[in-house]
Structures are given as structure tokens and as C-alpha cells.
Chains A and B, each alone.
Chain A
């Protein structure tokens, strides 16, 4: 039973480029969450999505960041015009439901902005 899959595992971008991070939830899971782990900081919630719907994006920066979870295919976290401060590990988690359900995490995408 495959776990949460994320790709790429490592991504290098120059300032001003776009970064696209992909997440495939566990089989049977319809809820996806994105978290960011900045160097020397804890995991911070960014956004919660269900298929074709953004439920809570309260942790997402207002500009340059967007997320989607289409009817078909993986969830995408998109960062436009990246800056050095975007360098971090981005983790995706999934759950079968949201209420009291355990969130299972993927291996993360390490983004480095040069």
C-alpha cells in the first residue's frame, strides 16, 4: 500500500523562477494538507484541500503561492517568482477524513532558491 508520494524530492530554482511541487495522497484519502518547514523552525500549516476545493488557506502567503487538487491527478503547490526566503522543505500530508483523522506525511520536497 503506497504511502503519500511527493515529487520532485529536491528542486533547485533561481530567484524569479516558478516552482511546482506535486503530491499524490495515499490510496483512499481525499484530504490533502501542505506544510512548510523552514530551516531551524517547526512545521507550519499552509493549506488544506479536498478534490477541486480549497477548504482552508489561512497559512498560505497571500502572494505568489497557490495550491490546487484537481479531480484527476496530484495536488500541486505552485510558487511563482521564488525568492531565497522560500527555501524550505515542503511536506504534503493526507487523511481519509479531516475530523480527528491522522494525517500521514510524504517524504517532502526540498526547495533551494539560488
Chain B
């Protein structure tokens, strides 16, 4: 069974204080690794898809990277509006996404 572990569970940052979130995975035959952002009471919002080791993608203050065993989501100079739960998911066997438990990020002004 696919395993996805995210760390830390929670992260409190000061505005402008850069940090990284980790997503480690154990799957057979990774088809894609996905990052989503989820705000309270809302559905997951798509951020990035990574397909192969060495791939990187950026969007505003966020940058996602992928190795053969883990992915990192780097948040550069975060703002309070970056506060959310960040979810990592893998697509391996079949079509379903297997999600980690998420990292809740709180950015204080």
C-alpha cells in the first residue's frame, strides 16, 4: 500500500521567515506527486504536479522539488495569506490519490 508521510504536522512562522515542508513517500511506480493547499472549510486547491526526480516547479513564494523518496515545498518570505494546510498526494497504482495528513502552516504578521 502507498505510504505518504508529511512533516512537520504544524509550522508557525513569522512573516518573511522562509521554511520547508517535507513529504516522504513509499510507492511502487510513481506516476505523479501533487501538492494542494486547503483552507479551513474549503476543498483542496491544486498547486503543483511533479512527475520525475529532479523536477522543480515554482509559483509566487512557493517552490516544489522532487527526489526519488521525498518532495519538499519551500515557502520563501511567507505572508499571512500563506497560512493554510498543505497536502501532499501521490498517484501510483491505479488512479486514486493517496494523501498525507498535511502540514498546517501559520504565518504571523
B49 to chain A: which residues have CB within 8 Å? 100, 102
Q: Would A45 and B96 be within 8 Å (CB), given that A91-B43, A91-B44, A105-B44 are in contact? A: yes
Partner of A42, one of B32, B43, B94, B100: B100
A104 to chain B: which residues have CB within 8 Å? 46
Contact (Cβ within 8 A) A100 B32: yes
1/0 per residue, CB under 8 A from B, across A50-81: the answer is 00000110110000000000000000000000
Give the Cβ gap from A112 to chain B, nearest Cβ, in Å.
13
Give the Cβ gap from B32 to chain A, nearest Cβ, in Å.
5
Contact (Cβ within 8 A) A43 B87: yes
Contact (Cβ within 8 A) A42 B36: no
Could you tell me which residues of chain B, from 38 to 81, have a CB within 8 Å of some CB in chain A?
41-46, 49, 51
Contact (Cβ within 8 A) B96 A107: no
A103 close to B (CB within 8 Å): yes
Contact (Cβ within 8 A) A105 B101: no
In the docked arrangement, what's the CA distance between A45 and B93, Å?
13
In the docked arrangement, what's the CA distance between A110 and B36, Å?
19
A31 to chain B: which residues have CB within 8 Å? 95
A98 to chain B: which residues have CB within 8 Å? 95
In the docked arrangement, what's the CA distance between A91 and B45, Å?
12
Partner of B97, one of A58, A99, A103, A108: A103
Partner of A59, one of B43, B89, B91, B96: B96
Give the Cβ gap from B14 to chain A, nearest Cβ, in Å.
27
> 8 closest pairs, A vs B, by CB?
A45-B96, A105-B43, A43-B99, A98-B95, A105-B44, A42-B101, A42-B99, A107-B43
B interface residues (Cβ-Cβ under 8 A, vs A): 31-32, 34, 36, 41-46, 49, 51, 87, 89, 91, 94-102
A interface residues (Cβ-Cβ under 8 A, vs B): 4, 6, 31, 33, 35, 41-45, 48, 55-56, 58-59, 91, 93, 98-100, 102-108, 110
